[in-house]
Amino acid sequence: MIDDDQLLLFYYDDGLSSDERDAIRDAIATDTAVADRYRALQATLGDVGDFGAIRAPDHLKYQWQDAITQAARRETAPTSPSRPTFLLWGSALAASLFVAFAIGTQVGSLEDTKAPTAVTSLPSNAAFARGLQVHLQQASTLIEAPTDATTADTAALVNQIVAQNRLFERAAEAREAHDVARLMRAIEPVLVRLADPDVSPVEANALRLQVAFELNAVLTKIEQTASEVTETI
Amino acid sequence: MTHGAQSRGLPTTAEFHAVIADRSDRWYAACLRITKDPDLAADAVQDGLLSAWRKREQYDRDASLDTWIHRITINAALQLLRKRKPERWLPMLEEQVDTTTLPESAQSDRELEASLGRALSALSDMEQLCFVLKHLEQWRLAEIAERLDVNVGTIKQALFRGVRKLRIGMPDLRSTP
């Protein structure tokens, strides 16, 4: 007796031996009842073949295209042997970030043992939160500050910030702070557009404002949450 | 790089941009059906795209770029679901069906219900996932089992149950305008 589960596997042409397939094929050809059940199954599955259109929002498509553009650009970005003075800001940023993170890790590991936070959307590790704050504050300052840096300098600086954003994004993911990770990812396309040599001064200013706004939004959220946690404690 | 990639037969940024414009609705829809979370689906598509870009040397020009990326984004969706939603992933694999709707997914569930149809929403998470991967994505049972890290028998049983539920729900579905 051939049951509907076997007919289903026959329909998908998967999960049956060749002997089983042959037996089912013969049964469909010779047994009206089996043939009727198979047609009914085909009709059901045909009806559920299309659940209607789901469209990706346009801003996501732009973001995905931009992610590819930037991935391609990063592969070809020349590594300059010289380090313009302007880039010292970037180095300072990286260094201070490392120090903040290292110190924070020591302090944070102690704090975490006595004050586990109930906030699930932000990092559970205080060191991570402090390191992220330092990064965002310094990145905001650098992005907002008017500069006479060359396009290459700006691109190098942005690349450094992007690289650090990614470190924090990964760290956020590891701490299951997915909304923070998502915000870090959302900032990246704007940052890389800012580094684009084709960007006009007007657009660059608009992008700077946008990045600063996004960075400050994350920063504010972190500070608010830190305050809430403190009050809870 | 773009020019060099083209000369080696690798897909270019322009090709990626074009296929994103034309086909990313399908990738997003597939990832949304798997994750049932718009943010997770968006991240899965981006992760999949960047992964495809990084390993574009492996792309076979005889195949469709759309299909190749689609497959990678589905894998990314499964990875993200496992990593970020273990509360859904683990019970799903153990067939402990929890019908409680998590607050954070309530809205997306409602949107999904409207777009995926009432029939599919009657299935458990595991049944839905197996049905989506088998029926819509046309994966082999063995591939699904390997990806979900369970045996083929488990996948078959989930699929059988899912289709039975769908068939029970179909008369009602057909009467829905």
Each residue of A162-192: pLDDT tens digit? 777 777 777 777 777 777 777 777 777 777 7
Query: Each residue of B66-107: pLDDT tens digit?
Result: 999 999 999 999 999 988 877 777 766 665 444 444 344 444
For residue A179, what is the enclosing H or E element? helix A178-194
- Asked if the Cβ–Cβ distance from B115 to A51 is below 8 Å, we say yes
Task: Give the model's pLDDT for residue A121.
Answer: 42
Query: Each residue of B116-163: pLDDT tens digit?
Result: 566 677 888 889 899 999 998 999 999 999 999 899 999 999 999 999
Task: Give the model's pLDDT for residue A151.
Answer: 61
Write the single-letter amino acid at B115: S
Nearest CA in chain A to B113: A51
Of B53, B84, B141, the CB nearest to A68: B53
Distance CA B69, CA B157 (A): 29
Residues of A with CB below 8 A from B13's CB? 68-69, 72
Task: Give the model's pLDDT for residue B38.
Answer: 92
- The distance between the two most distant Cα atoms of chain B, rounded to a whole number of Å, is 56
**Residue B90: what are its φ and ψ, rounded to 5°?**
-65, -50
Q: How far is CA A18 from the centre of its chain?
A: 45
Q: pTM to 2 decimals? A: 0.57
- Asked if the Cβ–Cβ distance from A14 to B43 is below 8 Å, we say no
Task: Give the model's pLDDT for residue B105.
Answer: 42
Instruction: Spell out the residues 6+ positions from residue A93 whose beta carbon is closer than 8 angstroms to its own.
Output: A135, A138, A139, A142, A160, A161, A164
CB atoms under 10 Å from CB of B174, counted, come to 10
Task: Please determine, for residue B40, whether its predicted confidence score (pLDDT) is greater than 60.
Answer: yes
> H/E/C letters for each residue in chain B?
CHHHHHHCCCCCHHHHHHHHHHHHHHHHHHHHHHHCCHHHHHHHHHHHHHHHHHCHHHCCCCCCHHHHHHHHHHHHHHHHHHHHCHHHHHHHHCCCCCCCCCHHHHHHHHHHHHHHCHHHHCCCHHHHHHHHHHHHCCCCHHHHHHHHCCCHHHHHHHHHHHHHHHHHHHHHHHHCC
Task: Give the model's pLDDT for residue B77.
Answer: 95
Does the interface predicted TM-score (ipTM) exceed 0.85?
Answer: no
Residues of B with CB below 8 A from A14's CB? 134, 140-141
Instruction: Please identify every stretch of chain A with a pLDDT value under 50, giving residue numbers as ranges.
Output: 80-124, 229-230, 232-233
